[in-house]
Chains A and B, each alone.
Chain A
């Protein structure tokens, strides 16, 4: 998909003034966030599991080449085929090649963020194939011709009325207005597609080195219908998703549903191991896995390795006040919220996504809920640092920071400056106790008043209080 992260500020302003979006985002807070809190509290071992998951992921990353080779051998032994893709273009080419060879006309898709990352739908459509997203949320945004705004709830920004409009236009009337009727209508339409599909494409949450299985987790069962009924099943997954053994999948599963949707478990967890066997009565005739690097091996090398632990649960965005205010589209690419603000600059370039690491209050909630303990605030700060070093940060800001650093490393000078500023601001705001305008602070004062300081700095007050006690 087209990369629009450079428009972050403009898109954020639109998002904040979009009534429908604001209504939808309010439901996100009441839903996922509240449910996760309950689930985490009900499992006394939750914190212990987070620590173990972090350590296991680190072990896998330290030995990634070994586990990938073991995984490939196991897939081959089960009759499947593994393909390696260095970047998005190569991944698209591999999948187009398979589709072309088997004469695919209809391609159904279970939810796959990697397929979004590699821009697969556009490529398939361009070659004349009919592509049908089958996850209800993905189906809704496909009809709306929009990218997902959340990695596990792609249509979280849509209200029911908007879905009614989309379905009426796509399916013809009569217009459905209740959630059961809308879901049922999509069920009937998509049912036909599963049975007609030539190729079914799904993601792979985990790739099990021991057995050569790929794992998907869904609530709807769409991924299973997609991969069972098509003639050919293609799995798209990042190289970091391999795990050694079945027991290791279990560890992540215990964290995933709780962190993602606030459920103890999702409805369906499926392990797929190779194509249809000689005595099977159903299942795909071919089974392919496309392992995508696309910047991941580069991430492994440096200080952003922690990011490769990500299990794509979405808890970080659910708990992010910035995401909660502007939704996912403002971020301008596939991955939104805190994890997206780290991944997008790393995959698409620091200069192409300047605003993302900066649109963070460093409140730390994302890091505190991450099931694999990725230090997201630290990584975002690190990206800012890199932007500064590479002179991607605007020069005014860099100079301002240099001035600030000069002062901040000289406490005498710093406190002197503070005392002057506190007194000037207190004088300016002496009547109302607040300021309608302040130099260099228009970003704040454009939309609200700045409270005026009392006239004395914190340090001055602290010292005089201490003198009293």
Chain B
């Protein structure tokens, strides 16, 4: 389909009344950085994250160390009477999961009820978590189970999205295949504009802050 490509790029250039940009122009466009306005924030980023995330029906718990995470997950499980099984991202494999649970670290199958994933970042601006796909954090964990628990070390919380992009750029391998920004449980308002949680993705999203 290279003919279509040439036609379209040709039509674009004709519309712009010029030929292809020269190398100097291309280089200066590649270097160009827009310094967009960031919405002002004057509150503590961790407090802001909690307030914003909870404002969209998400829930937030806090523990002192990573070692306390399994107990907090079990509390969530018991609260909603979920089966003792979970898809746990490889990043959290080493934690001491209850011995009577069935825990696996693969992709989430259709019958998955609970997942536990480690967030790459929390964004205080909107109260959102950022999950980077990979063997440590399969994308299906974020969408298939009814209940998703996200582990977020407080030092991963940034104020604005821009800081999260810098973290992604510094990652080994750069941009993940899927970068999921999750701001609460799945919802829809497609029937009479009535908000209903649990449209297709998780019905509940619980963030555990660590630290």
Check A268–B183 contact: CB distance below 8 A.
yes
Residue B99 lies at the interface, judged by CB distance under 8 Å to chain A: no
B158-204: which residues lie under 8 A (CB-CB) from chain A?
A: 160-162, 165, 168, 174-194, 196, 198-202
Check A282–B175 contact: CB distance below 8 A.
no
Check B189–A160 contact: CB distance below 8 A.
no
Contacts of A276 in B (CB 8 A): 177
Q: How far is the CB of B140 from chain A (nearest CB, A)?
A: 5
* Bound-complex Cα distance A352 to B120 (A): 51
Residue B49 lies at the interface, judged by CB distance under 8 Å to chain A: no
Of B6-14, B66-74, B78-86, the one touching chain A: B6-14
Check B191–A160 contact: CB distance below 8 A.
yes
Shortest Cβ distance from A261 into B: residue: B189
Check A264–B126 contact: CB distance below 8 A.
yes
* Bound-complex Cα distance A293 to B159 (A): 38
A57-83: which residues lie under 8 A (CB-CB) from chain B?
A: 59, 62-70, 78, 83
Q: How far is the CB of B11 from chain A (nearest CB, A)?
A: 4
Contact bitstring A258-301, B, C-beta under 8 A = 1, else 0: 00010011111111111111011111000000010100011011
Contact bitstring A17-51, B, C-beta under 8 A = 1, else 0: 00000001001101110000000000111001100
Contacts of B110 in A (CB 8 A): 191-192, 195
Interface core residue of A44, A195, A222, A246 (most chain B CB under 10 Å): A246
Check A63–B21 contact: CB distance below 8 A.
yes
How many contacts A-B (CB < 8 Å)? 253
Task: Give the size of the chain A interface in residues (CB under 8 angstroms).
Answer: 101
Contacts of A270 in B (CB 8 A): 178-181
Residue A230 lies at the interface, judged by CB distance under 8 Å to chain B: no
Shortest Cβ distance from A190 into B: residue: B200
Residue A347 lies at the interface, judged by CB distance under 8 Å to chain B: no
Check B162–A136 contact: CB distance below 8 A.
no
Interface of B is mostly: loop
Residue B29 lies at the interface, judged by CB distance under 8 Å to chain A: yes
Shortest Cβ distance from B173 into A: residue: A277
Contacts of B162 in A (CB 8 A): 247, 250
Contacts of A378 in B (CB 8 A): none
A89-103: which residues lie under 8 A (CB-CB) from chain B?
A: 90, 94
* Bound-complex Cα distance A156 to B134 (A): 37
Q: How far is the CB of B199 from chain A (nearest CB, A)?
A: 4
Shortest Cβ distance from A154 into B: residue: B190
Residue B133 lies at the interface, judged by CB distance under 8 Å to chain A: yes
Of A176-184, A429-437, A441-449, the one touching chain B: A176-184
Check B14–A183 contact: CB distance below 8 A.
no
Residue B37 lies at the interface, judged by CB distance under 8 Å to chain A: yes
Also in contact, A70 and B21, with CB within 8 A (given A31-B189, A65-B9, A222-B199): no
Contacts of A49 in B (CB 8 A): 36-37
Of A5-13, A213-221, A320-328, the one touching chain B: A213-221
**Chain B contacts to A: CB under 8 angstroms:** 1, 4-5, 7-9, 11-16, 20-21, 25-26, 29-30, 32-34, 36-40, 52, 56, 106-108, 110, 126, 128, 133-135, 138-140, 142-144, 160-162, 165, 168, 174-194, 196, 198-202
| 23 pairs of residues in contact across A and B, judged by CB atoms under 8 Å | A32-B193, A52-B34, A56-B34, A183-B188, A213-B175, A219-B189, A220-B201, A222-B200, A224-B139, A228-B178, A239-B8, A245-B34, A267-B182, A267-B183, A267-B201, A268-B182, A271-B178, A273-B175, A273-B176, A274-B177, A280-B138, A281-B140, A301-B14
Identify 20 new A-B residue pairs, CB closer than 8 A, beyond the known A219-B188, A254-B39, A297-B14. A52-B36, A59-B34, A78-B175, A84-B1, A90-B1, A159-B192, A182-B191, A184-B198, A213-B175, A219-B199, A225-B143, A225-B200, A250-B162, A251-B34, A267-B201, A269-B181, A272-B177, A272-B178, A283-B177, A293-B11
